[in-house]
Each structure stands twice: as C-alpha cells, then as structure tokens.
C-alpha cells in the first residue's frame, strides 16, 4: 500500500509542476493544440513501456513521466476552453468538461474490468489507442482567438499577491478543498463508509455513484449562477455545501455520514469548474492562472493523501461526545481544513463581484441585439 501511495504522490507532484510549466508556456505563446496533442501522443508510447518495467523504480519513473505529460496537456485544454467560450457560458462549459471527464473515467474502469483478465498487454494497448485518439482530437482544437488579445494588452507584471494575477485566496481555497477531498472525495471514502456505517461494498459503491451524479448536476446549476455574473453567490453556495457536508460527515451516524458525503460532493464538484471560471475571467495572466489552479490542486492531493491516511491510522474511528452527539475526531480535524477552503475565497470574490465581467459582456451583447 505504501508503494501504491508513493506512486500516486509522484504522479500528482509531477502533474502539479508540469501545470505551472504549461501555464508559462501558454503565456509565452505556445500553441494549445500542438502542446496537448504531442503530450497525448507521447503518453500512448509511455503506456506501452509498462510492459517492459520489472521494478518498482521503473514503474515510478513512468508514472512520473505520465504526470508531467498530463499536466502539460490538460492545462492546455482547459486554457483553450476558457478563452474560447464567452464569459456568460464559461462556468457551465467547465461543468460539462469535468462531467465528461468523470464519464470517461467510469468508461475506462469498465474497459479495464473487461480486458483485465486477458493480461496487462490488452489493457495497456487499449490505453495507448485511447491516448492516440485523444491526441488526434486535441490536434483539432482551435487556437483561442482571445489568447493573442490578452497577450497584446498585458504591459505590466502580475500582482505579487498571487500567480498570474490570481489572488492567493483562491489558491488557498483550492488547496484546502482538494486536501479534504483526499478522504471525502477519494478512494478512501469506500473504506471509510464501509467501516463507519457497516455497509456492504455494493451499497457503498451505489451511494458514492449516486452522490457523484448529484454533484455533477448541482455543479451545472451553480455554474449557471456564476455565468449570470453572480460569482460570489455561486462560490458561497458551493462553499457552504462543502462545509455543511464536512460537518455532517463528522457525526458518527449512517444517515449523517451519507448526507454529509452528498453535500460535500455537490460543493467540491461545483468548486472545481468555478475556480477555472475565476481563473479565465478575472486573472490578468490567464495561462499562468489556469496552471496555478491545477498545480495547487495536484500538490494538495499529493501531500494530503498520505497525511490523511496516517491520521486515520492514528485516530482510527475514535469519537468525542459533544452535547450527546458522537463526533469523529479525525473528521473534525479535516473539517477545519474544509472551513478554510469555504471561507477564505469569499473576501476576494466580494471585491470582484462589483466588476462582474460576465454581466457587462452579457449586457453589451444584449443591448447590441436590441439596437439591431
């Protein structure tokens, strides 16, 4: 298990570092389609090398390379999506993007379960073919027309308060929510719910799947609120949902644990597209901002997964009685992390709210349509 955890940490650490490099490259004028398609094509070849790796070190190095390639590729795609879609549709576009990612991940698991019995080479061959198909698709992504305009207008360096002009408060929020997601939104949730609720694997898998579907649907609705120019209200809805879910998740009762997971899934899945919308709407250096959002989330996942696992090993399912309610100590500690993520960005968005670029764009387009 320790080796698997280290492999995961290596992957996300490499992906985080590559995300920052991708942001810098995009700001320097790199073509999004070329960068993404090359990375996916190389990934297809790297997948085949797993059949030649016979040691844990070799597998770790391959995982590290894949993390770098994924970090470069997906930041490029997210950057292109954000700048190609109007601000009044951007939040919902990112919601659909991440929903398709969840669907693709589920389909990948299904393919693996079907081909897994035929040996590793079948699964790896299918993986390489899918990477090739993705590379071909990425090559057809048009260069965002707004990218050149943004580069031309920039004449001063970004503020020192963040990366690419994206305030450090947003980055802190991403880090804290992703850290909490290492338990509530990661693979540990299956073990945690089974042991805390005494439920079967099938029941837990069903509940987690239904909650994720609810989270995706709610993400689209909350993104619609942001697209109407109400970023503060959207972020508040998502943050309060995540925080409320964390609080309920700390109460050792099957009903509260399940309700808490559902609320957290809604909040966490809604914050993911919202942070990309903020990065591509308000930041001055949008490529660096998208890279920073991805980097912080990946670094947080890489660091928090082993820490939360260690916390559960030490505290197990110990509880403390508060006013007759049994509170899980480990989850109460994680709640403090969620609270930081839920509250910190609101001060920033309260300042950004009056500018409402999405609303101004929507109003100008509407007035132009009325005049014609």
The residues near 317 (Cβ < 8 Å, ≥ 6 apart) are: 195, 196, 252, 328, 330
Give the Cα separation of 72 and 278 in Å (integer).
20
**What separation in angstroms does the CA of 319 have from each of 246, 331, 344?**
15, 10, 28
Q: How many CB atoms are located within 10 Å of the residue 162 CB?
A: 21
- The pLDDT score that the predictor gives to residue 71 is 92
Predicted pLDDT of residue 180: 58
**Predicted pLDDT at 189:** 72
Give, in order, the Cα–Cα distances in Å from 173 to each of 178, 181, 223, 249, 297. Answer: 9, 12, 17, 20, 9
pLDDT for the residue 146: 53
Residues of the chain with pLDDT under 70: 1-8, 116-118, 145-188, 305, 308-309, 312, 316-317, 335, 337-372
Structure tokens at 320: 């403390």
Q: What are 88-135's pLDDT values in tens digits?
A: 899 999 999 998 988 887 787 777 777 766 677 888 888 999 999 999
pLDDT at 18: 92
Which pLDDT score is estimated for 128? 92
- pLDDT at residue number 224: 93
- Domains, the chain, with CATH or none: 2-142+159-360 (1.20.1250.20)
Q: Distance between CA atoms of 238 and 91, rounded to whole angstroms?
A: 13
Note the pLDDT tens digit of each residue in 340-366.
655 655 555 555 444 444 444 444 444
How confident is the model at residue 324, as a pLDDT?
A: 72
């Amino acid at each position: 298990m320790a080796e698997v955890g280290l492999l995961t940490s290596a992957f996300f650490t490499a992906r985080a570092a590559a995300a920052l490099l991708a942001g810098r490259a995009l700001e320097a004028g790199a073509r999004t389609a070329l960068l993404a398609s090359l990375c996916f094509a190389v990934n297809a070849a790297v997948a085949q090398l797993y059949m030649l790796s016979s040691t844990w070190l070799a597998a770790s190095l391959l995982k590290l390379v894949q993390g770098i390639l994924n970090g470069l590729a997906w930041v490029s795609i997210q950057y292109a999506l954000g700048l190609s879609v109007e601000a009044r549709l951007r939040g919902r576009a990112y919601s659909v993007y991440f929903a398709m990612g969840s669907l693709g991940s589920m389909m990948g698991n299904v393919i693996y379960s079907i081909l897994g019995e035929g040996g590793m080479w079948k699964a790896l061959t299918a993986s390489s073919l899918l990477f090739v198909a993705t590379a071909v698709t990425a090559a057809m992504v048009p260069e965002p027309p707004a990218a050149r305009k943004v580069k031309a207008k920039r004449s001063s360096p970004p503020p020192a308060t963040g990366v690419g002009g994206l305030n450090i408060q947003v980055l802190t929020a991403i880090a804290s929510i992703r850290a909490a997601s290492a338990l509530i939104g990661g693979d540990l949730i299956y073990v945690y719910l089974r042991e805390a609720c005494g439920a079967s694997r099938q029941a837990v898998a069903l509940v987690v799947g239904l909650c994720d579907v609810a989270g995706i649907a709610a993400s689209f609705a909350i993104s619609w609120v942001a697209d109407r120019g109400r970023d503060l209200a959207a972020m508040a809805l998502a943050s309060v949902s995540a925080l409320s879910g964390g609080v309920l998740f700390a109460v050792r009762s099957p009903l509260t644990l399940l309700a808490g997971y559902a609320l957290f899934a809604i909040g966490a899945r809604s914050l993911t597209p919202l942070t990309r919308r903020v990065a591509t709407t308000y930041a001055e250096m949008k490529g660096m901002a998208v890279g920073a959002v991805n980097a912080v989330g990946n670094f947080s996942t890489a660091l928090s997964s082993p820490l939360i696992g260690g916390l559960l090993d030490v505290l197990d399912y110990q509880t403390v009685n508060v006013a007759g309610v049994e509170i899980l100590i480990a989850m109460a500690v994680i709640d403090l992390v969620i609270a930081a993520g839920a509250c910190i960005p609101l001060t920033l968005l309260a300042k950004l709210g009056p500018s409402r670029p999405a609303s101004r764009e929507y109003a100008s387009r509407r007035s132009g349509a009325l005049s014609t």
